[in-house]
């Protein structure tokens, strides 16, 4: 058995999960619900990544994989595009029931190392 290392550079929000909730169960739910929101959140998807069996969940609009040994940089998205992504992410957060999470981070560029 080997490990696969990758890194993601994305625009989005980390969604903290309750202790013991596997990331894959939440991303299955997100997949189902986001199909219903495509008209309001066409650019929103999710990213499940992190440390081996302790993946984290992120709602994202733009995500790129950075291969091991290489580098990446933030997209050249305009301020208008980021404002549109912020609105879509806010709509998704509300529709998915995450708006009650205390201290939920604002959308921004995030770098997520992944080990699987």
At residue 6 the predicted structure's pLDDT band, cuts being 50, 70 and 90, is: confident
Which pLDDT score is estimated for 2? 64
What is the DSSP secondary structure assignment for residue 6, as one 8-state letter?
E
Res 90 pLDDT > 70:
yes
Which SS3 state, helix, strand or coil, does residue 49 take? strand
Helices 79-95, 23-36: axis angle to 10 degrees equals: 110
Which pLDDT score is estimated for 102? 86
Q: Tell me the whole-structure pTM to 2 decimals.
A: 0.89
Give the chain's end-to-end CA distance (angstroms, integer): 11
Nearest Cα neighbor of 94 from 54, 69, 59, 57 is 59
Per cent of the chain over pLDDT 90 is 54
In 15-39, which positions are buried (b, 16+ CB within 10 angstroms) versus exposed (e)?
beeeeeeebeebbeebeeebeebee
């Amino acid at each position: 058995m080997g490990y696969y290392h990758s890194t993601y550079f994305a625009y989005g929000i980390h969604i903290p999960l309750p202790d013991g909730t596997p990331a894959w169960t939440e991303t299955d739910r997100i997949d189902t619900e986001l199909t219903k929101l495509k008209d309001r959140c066409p650019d929103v998807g999710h990213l499940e990544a992190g440390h081996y069996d302790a993946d984290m969940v992120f709602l994202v609009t733009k995500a790129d994989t950075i291969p091991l040994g290489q580098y990446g940089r933030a997209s050249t998205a305009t301020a208008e595009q980021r404002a549109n992504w912020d609105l879509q992410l806010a709509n998704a957060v509300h529709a998915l029931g995450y708006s009650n999470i205390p201290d939920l981070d604002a959308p921004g560029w995030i770098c997520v190392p992944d080990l699987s």
